[in-house]
Homo-oligomer: A and B are copies of this chain.
């Protein structure tokens, strides 16, 4: 169902949004309109692109107006109503709203006019955002530069934000709005007024309910393995073997065996004489509902359904049955078709991945199980530690957002890393996403990727741009690749997110210093001036030192020179210091690494290493990793991780360009 232009105007007015002066009239009428220039349009729910259809005419006089009315009446014989309204001017903005399946209403805003599709200058803002968050989003667009003043254009950003706030209220109270186009909307220094309006209404889709997880659900004290096996080729064997290091109790279940890998084996979960918090289920798909019923009777809180052969294989009915049984008994279900989960601090590997990653403070939530095995394997090599790793599988019951909420509440998690293909509880995610440093990798951004994701887990990959914008608007970090994700996690586990963007670069090689400065400037980080300590530095550094930031200590710098420079540079006000080390002939890499650690400790500020090279820098890298100082092999990765770790760098970059 459509709302026509006058209907939209009435709706907007009732929320205090300005609309043009207008008059609606019927076929055959020539109303007493005398404000010119004006626009005459057909009123029709069916004609979506009125302009393209010739249903919009600009008139400058009463004479032209009457002519236009006659023409429209003739050309659109089925149209009964027409509207005449004042012609507006100002900055032409694009404003549109769509209701996303996952995030519900999102507003799109950007530069309007004929080039809207050409330059794609649009940013999405979730209804669930603060005024400040909306402002930061707007700052990412070229529209912002027009509003701030560009050539003859100037608008009023705060008025535009008022307008957005009113729209948000309207949307919150009108869930039936599926699309709303206020395109163009004219912005001047004293007003924000849409010059058109069209809405499409649609009953809101039934959405999955958000069910908060209880605090200890992934911290069981006892784990049963249903479908345990003595055959090393079976998943039921791998699951028991992986639990050997678990500090809690392990109960294999299989009527065929007395013992599995030294653990006493039970014929049924009901016959285990002690309480069972968690059951790993690896039995044929058909008998999972029955097994789950037994778990319910036993009082199991979490069922991890490793078995595949459900929704992803077209058996949606069976999956629904699993959920029904679980709901009846109050069991939460992870999966089916999940790799399982891991809690390194408990030595708990409740998955069929052979490797348990190191302990740490990252919660890794993944909608791809296969990705987990690769990540865990790399984590061991790279000394990246996890508080938990959860494979979501088909998400029949537990959805990634519920795990995210739990990770926010969990005191052993500092950073949340999510690999997302499709998200159903996006609306709820927006409540949690800014509460802890969170990094997202979103797959399915392209048509190619979307098809691949669909064939992979059966979940529909949402619109990448909407996801990125709304998640970033609320404080999440959306990265491009796995490598980038881990680079960011290194920084975030060490320092969380930084409020300031003042960067100091210290190096023993000019080239990498220059590259780092390039990246920093293009990312909108601020290279602080070293002017205040120029004389002091010159006393301890060789005459050919750079005399600017990046501070080039020159190739023959040893740890002594790094230390002397650090001691002086500490007096300056920087938020983060990047220390670049290349292996020159005099470079005592491990000692320099120690100086970097000391600088971080003394200053209490963020310090990041970029140790370039291979074996010659390996010891230094090891020292920094051990001391939890983020360290990277390439200046790009170092500076990019810093950028991602700083709040709102993008917008301040825009501001800077604006001022330049």
Contacts and interface: CB of A to CB of B under 8 A. Distances in A.
A308 B555 CA distance: 12
A517 interface: yes
Interface stretch (A76-84, A98-106, A443-451, A491-499): A443-451
Copies of this chain in its oligomeric complex: 2
Interface in A407-465: 419, 421, 441, 443-449, 451-453, 455-457, 461
A421 B513 CA distance: 12
A616 interface: yes
A514 B443 contact: yes
Given A373-B584, A419-B511, A513-B452, A446 B522 contact: yes
A546 interface: yes
B374 A612 contact: yes
A380 interface: yes
A374 B521 contact: no
A483 B637 contact: yes
A377 B421 contact: no
A522 B468 CA distance: 15
Contact of A370 (B371, B373, B509): B509
A118 interface: yes
A85 to B, nearest CB: 24
A614 B371 contact: no
Given A355-B616, A457-B510, A552-B455, A449 B518 contact: yes
Contacts of A550: 452
A313 B637 CA distance: 32
A378 interface: yes
Given A355-B616, A374-B612, A452 B118 contact: no
B114 A142 contact: no
A354 interface: yes
A612 B119 contact: no
A508 interface: yes
A385 interface: no
B448 A520 contact: yes
A511 B636 contact: no
Interface string A312-347: 110000000000000000000000000000000000
A61 to B, nearest CB: 17
Interface in A349-367: 352-355, 366-367
B456 A546 contact: yes
A117 to B, nearest CB: 8
B515 A443 contact: yes
A151 interface: yes
Contacts of A614: 377-382
Given A373-B584, A377-B613, A634 B483 contact: yes
A119 B113 CA distance: 14
Interface string A505-542: 00011111111011111100001000000000000000
A187 interface: no
A609 interface: no
A366 B514 CA distance: 13
A657 to B, nearest CB: 10
A318 to B, nearest CB: 15
Contacts of A634: 481-483
B555 A369 contact: yes
A444 B527 CA distance: 14
A613 B378 contact: yes
Nearest to A119: B119
A368 interface: yes
A514 B452 contact: yes
Given A449-B517, A455-B548, A634-B482, A238 B585 contact: yes
B547 A455 contact: yes
Interface string A105-121: 00000010011011101
A637 B487 CA distance: 14
A452 B546 CA distance: 8
Contacts of A515: 441, 443, 449, 481-482
A615 interface: yes
Contacts of A296: none
A577 interface: no
A548 B452 contact: yes
A457 B509 CA distance: 11
Interface string A472-500: 00000000111110000000000000000
Interface in A267-310: 308
A367 B513 CA distance: 13
A582 interface: yes
Interface string A34-52: 0000000000000000000
Contact of A513 (B115, B142, B353, B456): B456
Contacts of A527: 448
A510 B585 contact: no
A374 B510 CA distance: 12
A114 B373 contact: no
A439 B308 CA distance: 47
A519 B353 CA distance: 27
17 contacts: A117-B150, A119-B142, A368-B509, A370-B510, A373-B555, A378-B612, A378-B633, A380-B615, A381-B613, A419-B511, A421-B511, A449-B514, A452-B517, A452-B550, A455-B548, A456-B514, A480-B636
In the A-B complex, list the 9 residue pairs whose CB atoms are closest, starting with the nearest: A368-B511, A370-B509, A381-B614, A446-B521, A456-B510, A449-B518, A377-B613, A481-B636, A374-B612
Given A370-B510, A375-B612, 14 more contacts: A119-B142, A370-B512, A370-B582, A370-B584, A371-B511, A374-B583, A380-B614, A381-B615, A441-B515, A445-B522, A446-B520, A448-B520, A453-B514, A483-B636
